[in-house]
Amino acid sequence: MGSSVLEAKNISVFEDYDALVKGMVELFVNLADESIKVRGKFIISLSGGSTPKGFYSRLAEAEVASRVDWSKVVVFFGDERTVPYTSPDSNQRMITELLLSKVPLSRENVFAIQDPDMDPKDAAIGYERSMREFFKLSGDELPQFDFMLLGLGDDGHTASLFPGSPALTEAVRWFVDNKVEKLNTVRLTTTYPVINNSRHIVFLAEGQSKASVLKDVLTGPEGKYPSQNVKAENGKLYWYLDKEIASQLEGV
Ligand code: 6PG
Judge if the beta carbon of residue 51 lies within 6 A of ligand 1: yes
Q: What is the pLDDT of residue 158?
A: 98
Question: What does the alpha-carbon distance between residue 95 and residue 109 come to, in Å, rounded to a whole number?
Answer: 15
pTM above 0.85, yes or no: yes
What is the crossing angle of helices 17-39 and 53-60, to 10°?
60
Q: What is the pLDDT of residue 218?
A: 96
Q: Whose CA is nearest to atom 5 of ligand 1?
A: 153
The CATH class, in words, for 3-242 is: alpha beta
What is the best residue among 79, 92, 168, 178 to mutate for testing ligand 1's pocket, by most ligand atoms within 8 Å of CB? Answer: 79
Q: Whose CA is nearest to atom 12 of ligand 1?
A: 153
CA 190 to chain centre: 9
What is the best residue among 20, 45, 50 to mutate for testing ligand 1's pocket, by most ligand atoms within 8 Å of CB? Answer: 50
Three state DSSP letters for 115-155: CCCCCHHHHHHHHHHHHHHHHCCCCCCCCCCCEEEECCCCC
* C-alpha separations of 207 from 23, 210, 243, 244 in Å: 16, 6, 8, 5
pLDDT tens for each residue of 102-144: 999 999 999 999 999 999 999 999 999 999 999 999 889 999 9
Atom of ligand 1 nearest to the CA of 160: 10
Please list the ranges in the chain whose pLDDT falls under 70: 1-6
Residues ≥6 apart with Cβ < 8 Å to 161 = 167, 168, 178, 189, 191, 192, 226, 227, 229
Collapsing DSSP states into helix, strand and coil, what is residue 183?
helix
Judge if the beta carbon of residue 90 lies within 6 A of ligand 1: no
CA of 138 to the centre of ligand 1 (A): 32
Judge if the beta carbon of residue 54 lies within 6 A of ligand 1: no
CA of 176 to the centre of ligand 1 (A): 17
Q: What is the pLDDT of residue 4?
A: 63
Q: What is the pLDDT of residue 2?
A: 53
CA of 150 to the centre of ligand 1 (A): 8
Atom of ligand 1 nearest to the CA of 205: 15
Q: What is the pLDDT of residue 250?
A: 84
CA of 81 to the centre of ligand 1 (A): 10
Residues ≥6 apart with Cβ < 8 Å to 10 = 236, 237, 238, 239
